[in-house]
């Protein structure tokens, strides 16, 4: 008397499945935008930095992360000896070199 009978609806599961996909669409779009805005440029920058560090050679004029400018005198697998003044040489890690200057910039 107080409880009404419940009837199953056949169309409800099909509508629920497409509604679930539509609710996931903004999340998928967010990840796609994040990939193209943040992840892909970072990977490109890492490739360029690795290529620059692999191409270092004796005599290159470089800038370190600390802003020190000098000329490479000796180059090892992990360290580089950089001459910053006449007779003054510092030892830095290769990964601390951020830029190779054009020849003749540093004298």
Report pLDDT digits (tens) over 53-88: 999 999 999 999 999 999 999 999 999 999 999 999
HEC sequence for 12-48: HHHHHHHHHHHHHHHHHHHHHHHHHHHHHHHHHHHHH
C-alpha 21/C-alpha 76 separation (Å) is 55
List of residues 6+ apart from 89 with CB closer than 8 A: 73, 81, 82, 83
- For residue 17, name the pLDDT band (cuts at 50, 70, 90): low
Query: Is residue 107 in some structural domain?
Result: no
Q: To the nearest whole number, what is the mean pLDDT of the chain?
A: 87
- For residue 104, name the pLDDT band (cuts at 50, 70, 90): confident
Domain count, the chain: 2
What pLDDT was estimated at residue 20?
75
Residues 41 and 78 in one domain: no
- For residue 9, name the pLDDT band (cuts at 50, 70, 90): low
C-alpha 70/C-alpha 89 separation (Å) is 9
Where do we find the tokens 């470089």?
Answer: 62
Residues 62 and 51 in one domain: no
The answer to whether the beta carbons of residues 55 and 70 sit under 8 Å apart is no
What pLDDT was estimated at residue 5?
74
CATH code, domain with 89: 2.30.30.30
- Say if pTM beats, i.e. exceeds, 0.75: no
């Amino acid at each position: 008397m107080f409880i009404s009978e419940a009837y199953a609806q056949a169309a409800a599961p099909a509508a629920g499945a497409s509604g679930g996909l539509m609710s996931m669409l903004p999340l998928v779009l967010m990840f796609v935008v994040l990939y193209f805005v943040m992840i892909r440029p970072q990977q490109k920058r890492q490739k360029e930095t690795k290529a620059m560090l692999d191409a270092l050679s004796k005599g290159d004029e470089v800038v370190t992360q600390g802003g020190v400018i000098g000329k490479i005198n000796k180059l090892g697998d992990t360290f580089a000896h950089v001459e910053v003044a006449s007779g003054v040489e510092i030892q830095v890690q290769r990964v601390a070199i951020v830029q190779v200057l054009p020849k003749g910039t540093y004298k």
